[in-house]
Structure 1
Amino acid sequence: MSTDSLAYLGDAVFNLYVKLYVLKDLKVKELHKLSNKYVSREGQSKILNGIRELLTEEESAIVRRGINSKGARKHGNDRLYMESTGFEALIGYLYLTNKDRLLVLLKEGVKWVEV
């Protein structure tokens, strides 16, 4: 599967994870505001940098492919956008190959946005 396809899938998976993570008895506008902290390029970049040392060689290679993909460069040289694309590619890859590992990294990763 192409790296951009993995990032596309990872974006959807991560959005759902975050929506479930922040779900509380709040107005939708507030839930949206909470979830944006995580799904923004800044939030995803923070998560990626927070979990980098936990990644295997294979996972790191997927992230590098995502950072260097055509889709990551559509906003020029925006480092945060490129890192968020690498993060999304990793999420898509793990969703397809190892959901247990995906949950471990997501649970650890969301802590980095809350700091």
Structure 2
Amino acid sequence: MADWTRRNGNGLGKGQSEEILDRENQQMTENLSRKMNRLKNVAFDMQTEAEDQNRYLDGMGSDFESSQGLLSGSMNRINHMIGANKSNRKIMCYIVLFLVIIFFVVYFLVTRSSGS
């Protein structure tokens, strides 16, 4: 901001200094208005992003709940199959052995392909 008392002493009249002050105030008001608009846009963008993230998290929560239901149902069926009788235990051992072999084959293939 300029020192208007010096300018007044240099021959500017009271009316001219008031005009200069008015123009300067108008310019500062416009600058402040632009900055406020930018802040409002940023706040609106932040609100929109927060709402999107909340919707995403809500969807994730429901996905986890449905996965939990699916896994608990599977575990109940496996427990029922294990407890049914001796022949089911033998089948269960074969299934576990098969899964372990598949795991090692996939592990071998992944390490072999990433090593190349």
Larger-Rg structure:
2
Does the alignment reach a TM-score above 0.5? no
The TM-score bracket by the shorter chain reads under 0.3
Question: Could you tell me the TM-score, scaled by structure 2's length?
Answer: 0.26
